[in-house]
Structure 1
Amino acid sequence: MKTRHIQLVDEKLTRKAVEEKIEKYRVYLLTVPADYLFKITASYSLAPGNSDQFNSKTESAAIKRVEFELAREKYFNWMHKGLMSLKEDERQIIVRRYLQLETEYDIDIWMDLSIGKTKYYKKKWQALLRLAFALKIEVYQQDRNEVS
């Protein structure tokens, strides 16, 4: 007898993983953390300054800002590469539903695509699953032994 391992995709956890990545994408689109911005208020102290301090607060804020921008750009490139692996209609669904500043409702998308509700939701799920595979974030169920 031969034993082989079959790994099945955990659809619920995979969907959750994709949605978390999409949400991070949206956060990158919509926000820049306030702690990365320059401080406008002046601070005064009677204690002498620390002469071995390498960066001022302004320099530190600038460095953090550049690091944030680089991380955001890297994330966008990663997500866009995954999106480009989708079929045209799948990509359109994902972008319109999740990745624009002003997202659209499902009903508006399926009406524009001239497809039925059931077919739309099936395509949407397939698009999310393909995106998970393209981004290499799919989640598998525990190994199951199968005897053949």
Structure 2
Amino acid sequence: MAKIKKTQQLTFPYADLDSDQTRQRVEEFLETVQVFRRFGFVRREATITHNASPQYHQRTNTISRSAEDIALWNVSKEDELQRKSDLLDKAMSKLNRIEREIVNQRYMTPDEVYDYNVAADMCIGEKRYRELRDRALFLLAFALRLEVYNEPEFDRRLTGM
């Protein structure tokens, strides 16, 4: 008798991908980096406001360290934004030239540019432009680990709920 080989079907992770949420996360990431590159980092500063009315509260014996908290936030936030910018540069280098150009023109320019403007500038049809844009955002989502998966739906009949 001949042995029967069992075959397994390959499953790809993007089958359960929530494309709308993933796209939103990538666009938010791109906007954050674009604003950081455009304006740099805006530091928080300590403010002292005088209040004419007395503040009655119980003693908690805790010391307020607002200057330290602000300094730590400034350092950590600036490092985080710089890390995001470097990570985006690495991810963008893995895209092909057309996808990189689409992302740069659509999301990384300071002007508000619409999809049809970018498609016209690049002399490609809107349908092809949307395909390339979606592919670029999809690849960036995986490169930046921003993908969002659908929660698996369970059958309520089986659980008795």
Instruction: Say whether the fold is shared (TM-score over 0.5).
Output: yes
Give the deviation of 1:131 after TM superposition: 1.6
Contact 1:82 1:135 in 2 (8 A): yes
Give the deviation of 1:83 after TM superposition: 1.3
**Aligned with residue 120 of structure 1, among 102, 112, 129:** 129
Give the deviation of 1:51 after TM superposition: 9.6
Cα distance per residue 1:10-63 (max 9 Å; x no partner)? 4861452243133134245269789x43214257989xxx9984x742232122
State the aligned residue count.
140
Unaligned runs of 5+ in 1: 144-148
Q: Within 5 A, what are the aligned runs for 1:1-148?
A: 1-10=6-15, 13-27=18-32, 29=35, 36-42=44-50, 53=63, 56-138=65-147
- Secondary structure of the residue aligned to 1:6 is coil
Unaligned runs of 5+ in 2: 1-5, 153-161
Distance 1:109 1:11 in 2: 30
Taking structure 2 as the reference length, the TM-score comes to 0.65
Taking structure 1 as the reference length, the TM-score comes to 0.70
- Matched residue type, 2:21: K
Q: Identity over the aligned pairs, expressed in percent?
A: 22
- Decide whether aligned partners of structure 1 residues 142 and 62 sit closer, same or farther in structure 2, where only a CA change above 3 A counts: closer
Distance 1:11 1:131 in 2: 17
- Matched residue type, 1:97: R
Give the deviation of 1:109 after TM superposition: 0.6
Give the deviation of 1:133 after TM superposition: 2.9
Greater RCO between the two (CA within 8 Å, min separation 6)?
1
